[in-house]
Amino acid sequence: MKKIMLTAMLAAFIVSCQSDEGQPLTSGNDPIAVGFTLIGDGELMGDENITGSNLVIDNEADWNALKTQMDLFNPYSQYFTETDIDFSAYKVIAVIDELRTSGGYDITIASITDNDGQLVVDVENSNPTEANVTTVMTQPFHIIKIPNTDLPVVFE
């Protein structure tokens, strides 16, 4: 009887120690959320002549050029949570919507994920409801910073 129990325990031990090599715990394809910090968002008035675009800024000169262009008629950057960025540690991502002929539009960076070796920036646009429409030119923007990385950035 002791031999049977010893054999059963040894078999259970061997089975429980089997290697899962070749079977990763995760698929490797699961997107990983990337944290970001809001720098600023709002609406330009259209006089700044900024083309609607998705920007990845990795140096101070480009960052200063964007702030200067945004501040051409109104001091938008004074409302940013920060304006001095350490580009050795961070990148700035800015999404600027196209010029709209009415108010109520919005653009938002909803999330950023590391997905198969690239950063995927999920940009959401919302249209005005009838109650929110104004007859003023607007150009929504959303600006964040992320930890510095060499991964390519894709906007969706």
DSSP string, 39-84: EEEEEE-STT-PPPEEEEE-SHHHHHHHHHHHTTTS-GGGGSS-S-
Q: Residue 124: which of 152, 148, 99, 155 has the closest Cα? A: 155
- What is the per-residue pLDDT for 24? 35
pLDDT tens, 20-56? 333 333 345 789 999 999 999 999 998 898 999 999 9
Distance in angstroms (rounded) separating the CA atoms of residues 5 and 11: 10
Which contiguous run of DSSP H or E holds residue 3? helix 2-16
Residue 2, SS3 per DSSP? helix
On the question of pLDDT at 19 being above 60, the answer is: no
pLDDT tens, 100-151? 988 889 999 999 999 999 999 999 999 876 655 667 888 999 999 999 999 9
Q: Does pTM surpass 0.95? A: no
- What is the per-residue pLDDT for 114? 96
- What is the per-residue pLDDT for 131? 59
